[in-house]
Amino acid sequence: MAKLNFGGVEEEVVTREEFPLEKAREVLSTETIAVIGYGVQGPGQSLNMRDNGFNVIVGQRKGGKSWDKAIADGWVPGETLFELEEALAKGTIICYLLSDAAQIELWPTVKANLTAGKSLYFSHGFGVTYKDQTGIVPPADVDVYLVAPKGSGTSLRRLFVEGKGLNSSFAVFQDATGKAREKCIAMGIGVGSGYLFETDFYREVTSDLTGERGTLMGAIQGIFAAQYEVLRSNGHTPSEAFNETVEELTQSLMPLVAENGMDWMYANCSTTAQRGALDWWKPFRDATKPVFEQLYNSVKSGEQATISITRNSQPDYRVKLEEELAELRESEIWQAGATVRSLRPERG
């Protein structure tokens, strides 16, 4: 573990230098890693592990889009691609990568296949933390750990292919074999993590649910919509409003912030922008902080988990989801966005 200073707080992280891929391969050399579910994380993690030389199989319900995608990605039915039960029986490390709501339904089958000494691997602390709602209580004689890539499975794969890596958190919930931590870190390296930082299941799920509802996706869309509406109601055209709200942020400024930090960005815009940004970031913080507090409390109380389980388990979930996504897609801001995207030079 390398000790690093994060803004004055010392934390230990695991990098590929200290835990090289060869070591990860060695630790997991006798394991059959069964990736259960081929949605978003399933492809990213299984393909990265396959390319990294691990013994990986995929378990997925037959006949759907995900099954076809697995075949297109080179998984071979009967050899490396199996129905869920068969993969669960063959796997010694069960990577439970169904959607969190779906994990509840399949849990009795997963549990039946968790014989002593196997590992149960998650990419979220959800199922175990909210056990009163999910019923997910692993048997005492299996290792239970998580590696949670901090980003989409799509980027996990893309960055891996580019020779880069997404950061992941890791946590051990139960160490039955005495080797859970080593296996967990080896899995983290295997799925292509850039570096790994330690957490526990509770902290992973509460921070993750807050982040995705907050600045990563929920809050950012809310702020985009608010600014866009103010610009439009004051006579600005859709292209002007979209460029000034979204396009400049994603295409120009955020990559620079990612490289250099926010103070650099403030120092490298006009003095006019600089003065304005310095004056306005605190009022925005103060206006939104109560909403973030409300969000965190709703996560902490388990309310967000209840909503997620209830809504995502409805038989008409996909239909309702499509309606809500259509509302976003058909909104003027994102229609304007589609046109703006089509005008980016690299797209011809």
Ligand X SMILES: CC(C)(O)[C@@H](O)C(=O)O
Q: Distance of CA 323 to CAs 150, 305, 326, Å?
A: 28, 22, 5
Of 188 and 336, nearer to ligand X (C-beta) is: 188
Establish whether 248 is an annotated binding residue. Answer: yes
- Is there binding between residue 322 and ligand NAD (CB under 6 A)? no
Rounded to a whole number of angstroms, the minimum distance from the CB of residue 149 to ligand NAD is: 5
Rounded distance, CA 230 to CA 99, Å? Answer: 37
Tell me the residue nearest to ligand NAD as measured from the CB. 39
Q: Summarize as ranges the residues that interact with ligand X (CB under 6 A).
A: 151-152, 208, 212, 216
Q: Are 141 and 133 in contact (CB under 8 A)?
A: no
Marked catalytic residue, from 33, 34, 60, 124: 124
In terms of Cβ atoms closer than 10 Å to its own Cβ (0-12, 13-18, 19+), residue 203 is middle
Establish whether 105 is an annotated binding residue. Answer: no
Establish whether 208 is an annotated binding residue. Answer: yes
- Is there binding between residue 124 and ligand NAD (CB under 6 A)? yes
216, interface contact from ligand NAD, Mg ion, ligand X, none, CB < 5-8 Å by kind = ligand X
- Is there binding between residue 38 and ligand NAD (CB under 6 A)? yes
97, interface contact from Mg ion, ligand NAD, ligand X, none, CB < 5-8 Å by kind = ligand NAD
Please count the residues of this chain forming the interface with ligand NAD, following the rule CB under 6 A.
Answer: 24
What are the phi and psi torsion angles at 57 (to 5°)? Answer: -125, 160
Interface residue with Mg ion, options 107, 208, 213, 304 (CB under 5 A): 208
Rounded distance, CA 303 to CA 213, Å? Answer: 13
Establish whether 200 is an annotated binding residue. Answer: no
- Is there binding between residue 198 and ligand NAD (CB under 6 A)? no
Rounded distance, CA 25 to CA 187, Å? Answer: 9
Rounded distance, CA 154 to CA 255, Å? Answer: 18
Rounded distance, CA 55 to CA 90, Å? Answer: 11
Q: Which of residues 94-123 bind ligand NAD (CB under 6 A)?
A: 97-100, 102, 105-106, 123
Rounded distance, CA 183 to CA 195, Å? Answer: 15
Interface residue with ligand NAD, options 152, 260, 294, 339 (CB under 6 A): 152
Interface residue with ligand NAD, options 33, 42, 58, 107 (CB under 6 A): 42
Residue 236 annotated as catalytic = no
* Closest listed residue to residue 143, CA positions, set 188, 96, 177: 177
Of 167 and 177, nearer to Mg ion (C-beta) is: 167
106, interface contact from Mg ion, ligand X, ligand NAD, none, CB < 5-8 Å by kind = ligand NAD
In the sheet that 56-59 helps form, which strands lie side by side, from edge to edge? Answer: 2-6, 9-15, 193-198, 166-174, 143-149, 119-122, 93-96, 33-36, 56-59, 81-82
- Is there binding between residue 37 and ligand NAD (CB under 6 A)? yes
Binding residues for Mg(2+): 208, 212, 244, 248
Which residues sit at the interface with Mg ion, rule CB under 5 A? 208, 212
Binding site for ligand NAD (CB under 6 A): 37-42, 60-61, 64, 66, 97-100, 102, 105-106, 123-124, 126, 148-149, 152-153
Annotated binding-site members: 208, 212, 244, 248, 270
User: Which residues form the catalytic set?
Assistant: 124
